[in-house]
Amino acid sequence: MNGFAPQIPPLDLLPEIDLLWGEIQSAVSDVIRSGQFVLGPQVRAFESEIAESLSVKHAIACNSGTDALVLGLRALGIGPGDEVITTPFTFYATAEAISLVGAEPVFVDIEPRTFNIDPSQIPAALTPRTKAVVPVHLFGHAADLDPILELSRRHGLTVLEDVAQAFGGRYRGRPLGSIGHAGAFSFYPTKNLGAFGDAGLLATNDDHVAELARKLRTHGSLRRDCNEMIGYNSRLDEIQAAVLRVKLPHVESWNSQRQTAAVTYRRLLADIAGVVPPLVEEYADHVFNQFTVRIIGRNRDAIQKALAQAGIGTNVYYSVPVHRLPVYADHQCHLPVAELAAREVLSLPMGPMLPNAAIGRVADALRAAFAANGEATVAA
């Protein structure tokens, strides 16, 4: 049908690289010529620029978002015997980090409209072993933090925000990652601020948490031959920091370009009754790491296949909620809202430089797919 139309990938990273190509090249070659490759002046400058942009006291750069979660949990004192409440509708790394520090993830169902953890269901999951909550700001939309923080104060819990998908997003005007006791960021290439490889960062206002995270990042020590604990090698390298510093000043405008693309999607999808666009709560500045719709009244996988045949790349985040993954087979629980979302969600192409024409093609292809996949293909 669209045999000659160009493919539309789920995310095209090249436009932003092209835009900054000269700056990136000179930043990378400066690092190479400096002869300093790990945790040097670029990382330190990146940490202070991030701390300023989030209005937090401390930013500790590390190897990945997963490591940022692990460093954060350990620095907050979470370990074996502890239970940590989190969402089942997230990338596996959120729960994996909790398991990696020896604690037990406890999954609480999500809100149907934002896909984020439902604070009203947290009280029923509390036990004397509950030590922390890890809310995830999924797809770029803030989790509802006020009730979570209020509950945490009452029960003496700590809150670690998983901000991997929401750099630049806000909750009631405040930067995500600066509101809980700490915030864990990922700069994996597909995130709103993306490196040219793996990178992550922990943000906190707590001096003690920051110092512990810095130690843990470098084998449990800040000085040579002074290792105080079992830590990690989770240093960030200078080339990634230099690339991230070139991109950082542009993220805010890239995020508003994503918001503009979302507005266009909403307008063009409005006449397709079975495509439910994402809701934005009044408390959130959504930064649309993903534009994730629900497919209602049709088989989601059939719609995804039809889009692929029209040259449109989409993703299903997530087809299996974390509590249903084989690794957590012993976590017998039924979380109906997350399980339904896993069957209905489809993330459409999104990015700061997504052309309007591409959004139009996606909408047309969805309309055609809905017409072609009649009631016979409705999931049982």
Ligand X SMILES: *Cc1c(COP(=O)(O)O)cnc(C)c1O
Q: Residue 90 or 314: which CB sits closer to ligand X?
A: 90
- Which pair of tokens denotes residue 98? 């909790």
Q: Are 258 and 350 in contact (CB under 8 A)?
A: yes
Q: Residue 94 or 292: which CB sits closer to ligand X?
A: 94
Quickly list H helices, the chain. Answer: 14-19, 21-34, 41-54, 65-75, 93-100, 145-155, 207-217, 238-247, 251-269, 300-309, 336-344, 356-372
Residue 378 Cβ vs ligand X, minimum distance, rounded to whole Å: 30
| Backbone torsions φ then ψ of 19, nearest 5 degrees | -60, -35
Residue 115 Cβ vs ligand X, minimum distance, rounded to whole Å: 11
Q: Which residue is nearest to ligand X (CB)?
A: 65
Q: Residue 88 or 274: which CB sits closer to ligand X?
A: 88
Q: Residue 47 or 275: which CB sits closer to ligand X?
A: 47
Residue 318 Cβ vs ligand X, minimum distance, rounded to whole Å: 10
Q: Catalog residues that contact ligand X under the rule CB under 6 A.
A: 64-66, 90-91, 93-94, 136, 162, 164-165, 186, 188, 198, 200
Residue 352 Cβ vs ligand X, minimum distance, rounded to whole Å: 18
Quickly list H helices, 156-250. Answer: 207-217, 238-247
Q: Cα 304 from chain centroid?
A: 22
User: Distance between CA 353 and CA 185 in Å, rounded?
Assistant: 23
Q: Residue 91 or 171: which CB sits closer to ligand X?
A: 91
Residue 72 Cβ vs ligand X, minimum distance, rounded to whole Å: 11
Q: Residue 265 or 318: which CB sits closer to ligand X?
A: 318
Residue 112 Cβ vs ligand X, minimum distance, rounded to whole Å: 19
> Which residue's structure tokens are 């999104």?
350
Q: Residue 96 or 211: which CB sits closer to ligand X?
A: 96
Residue 235 Cβ vs ligand X, minimum distance, rounded to whole Å: 15
Q: If you write DSSP's letter for every residue of 212-232 in order, what string do you get?
A: HHHHHHBTT-SSTT---S---
Cis peptide before 318 (omega within 30 of 0): yes
Could you tell me which of 348, 332, 319 has the C-alpha nearest to residue 89?
Answer: 319
Distances (CA, A) of 242 to 37, 139, 217: 10, 26, 19
